[in-house]
A and B are shown apart, each in its own frame.
Chain A
Amino acid sequence: MMPIIMLIISLAFIFLIVITLSKVLGSRVWTAKVNQWIVFGYLALGLISIGILSFSTEAVKKYSIEERKAMYEDETKLWNSLLSGQKNSYYERYLQKEWEIELASDQIRIVPHLATDIKAGVLVEKRDDPNSNVIYAKTYVIPYQYRGNDFTKQASLDYFKFENNNLIVQQVNNQEFTFYEIYPGMQMLDQINDYNIEHDAYYSFFTGRTILFLNVPSHVNIIDESGYVYLVR
């Protein structure tokens, strides 16, 4: 309440000064020339603001509804492609991390840290390599989107940790993001056109899903206690 009162007092004070100056100086103050310079100055200030904001704000990829439809199909294809074992270099763009797991024995346990629903899946492919106990792992992350905004960079989506011959599928802490977005248009037009509803309609069940692809020597025994292993082949 106090800041508003202060603001009103300040504005009243400015208003009083302007009125007094206008009365004293008469029509010499509000000439067309002065008005013109005030408008130009204000527009120049706007331009400077755009310049500063373009450097000081973070750009987030915004997908159109058409792009989201395509991505929705693409994500489904990626999931099916990994499940069916097809190799498709196109999907390598979803690759986030490539890492190796060195096993101390011929056995690996995959355990959940907490038994809750985690948006992750493990796919296992066996290879003939009797002399090695190394598992080649690839972490794929399907971009995390909300209403077409890509927040993959901000979200922590790594659910997998290797410790003492155990691959832990861990629950990531609840993540709450608050963003302040500059929207260079009118929200009400989007509402009239139902763009927001359309954006909500294209909610992908795969968004933010993390897929761990493991290339395991065939002699290594996998004990799945997690329920997150979708396929072993």
Chain B
Amino acid sequence: MMSLNSLTTSQVLWKQVKWKCKAFSQSFITLIGILIVIQLLGWNGSGSSGGGSNQFSVYIHFYSLDMTFIITCIWAFIQSLLMQGRIQQQDDYSIVTNRIVCNVSNSIVVTIYCFIATLIAIASFYISVLFYRLFSGIDLIRNELLFNPVEVIVTFLLILLVAASGFFIGSAFHFSKMFGIGVIVLFVVLLNLTPLGIANVIKFLFNGGDLLLMLKALVGSILIFGLSTLMLNRNEVTRR
């Protein structure tokens, strides 16, 4: 590291995080725009169920977070994939740094972005529900909790896990194009070869209640971010 000023690692890290947070902030406008279009088209992730007994029939239409969650996950995946791209990594030279600091700062920025994106997704959900309520005149029911903090944390950690996967694939491609393709091929092959089947793998990852799900997502994200940082730390020379 060459610089006239002597800066500690944490100072450089903080500087990079602040700078990157501002530098890629236009991606939130893209997310908001996509979410608005999706909600306007009525793809609000609602589902319905019906049933009853004797003279009663009950039909419940749900307005749930599903669609906003899926869109935000796709956004987070692409965003973190691009964050690890070669072009964006060259921006890191704006602040004198090393590879570890650069990757750790990217991980922190992705985490902060995922948190803001979660809030945007949740805000989108409530704004769209309010618009449906105002323009269609439907009577809405809710449970005691209109806003569930546990669900917010679950949503955030799952988006973070998806973003971490994008981050890992981005890092793999940054390491070597062949390695990136190899990682994707290996993932697809493993998923298809598993005797449990894809459905059971998904079930294993996501079942077990909110607390276990949060733990799985958090540990998974930390591991993937760590692995990505370790992988790129071994990449010694950038060829042009």
Which residues of A line the B interface, CB within 8 A? 4, 7, 11, 30, 32, 35-36, 38-39, 42-43, 45-47, 49-50, 52-54, 56-62, 117-119, 144, 146-147, 149, 151, 155, 171-189, 192-194, 196, 200, 207-208
Contact = CB atoms under 8 A, between A and B. Distances in A.
A159 to B, nearest CB: 10
A67 to B, nearest CB: 12
Interface in B71-113: none
B141 A46 contact: no
A192 B60 CA distance: 19
A187 B62 contact: yes
A208 B53 contact: yes
B53 A179 contact: no
Contacts of B40: 7, 11
B141 A179 contact: yes
B25 A182 contact: no
A184 B26 contact: no
A180 B139 contact: yes
A203 to B, nearest CB: 8
Contacts of B25: 32, 35-36, 39
Interface stretch (B166-174, B184-192, B200-208, B228-236): B200-208
Give the interface centre of A7, A50, A144 by most chain B CB atoms within 10 Å.
A50
Contacts of A193: 206-209
Give the interface centre of A7, A30, A35 by most chain B CB atoms within 10 Å.
A35
Contact of A57 (B60, B142, B208): B142
Give the interface centre of A32, A57, A184 by most chain B CB atoms within 10 Å.
A184
5 contacts: A11-B40, A58-B142, A175-B57, A177-B59, A179-B60
B200 to A, nearest CB: 11
Interface stretch (B5-13, B119-127, B218-226): B119-127
Interface in B139-155: 139-148, 151, 154-155
B126 A181 contact: no
B64 A187 contact: yes
Interface of B: 22-23, 25-26, 28-29, 32, 37, 40-41, 45, 47, 49, 51-66, 69, 116, 119-120, 122-124, 126-127, 129-130, 132-133, 138-148, 151, 154-155, 202-203, 206-209, 213
Nearest to A190: B64
A38 B28 contact: yes
Contact of B49 (A49, A53, A147): A147
Contacts, number: 194
Contacts of A192: 202-203, 206-207
Contacts of A171: 55
Contact of B206 (A35, A43, A146, A189): A189
Contacts of B69: 186
Nearest to B59: A178
Contacts of A188: 66
By Cβ-Cβ distance, the 10 closest A-B pairs, closest first, are: A46-B123, A32-B22, A62-B143, A35-B25, A49-B126, A185-B151, A49-B130, A183-B64, A146-B58, A57-B140
A185 B47 CA distance: 12
Given A7-B41, A181-B60, 8 more contacts: A43-B123, A155-B56, A174-B55, A180-B63, A180-B138, A180-B139, A182-B129, A192-B207
Nearest to A172: B55
A43 B207 contact: no
Given A58-B140, A176-B57, A184 B22 contact: no
A185 B138 contact: no
Given A58-B141, A60-B143, A186-B69, A53 B133 contact: yes
Contacts of B58: 146, 149, 151, 176-177, 179
A32 B69 CA distance: 25
Contacts of B130: 49, 52-53
A53 B129 contact: yes
Contact of A181 (B55, B65, B140, B145): B140
A174 B140 CA distance: 22
B57 A174 contact: yes
A119 B126 CA distance: 39
Contacts of A181: 60-63, 140-143
Contacts of A42: 32, 120, 123-124, 127
A95 to B, nearest CB: 21
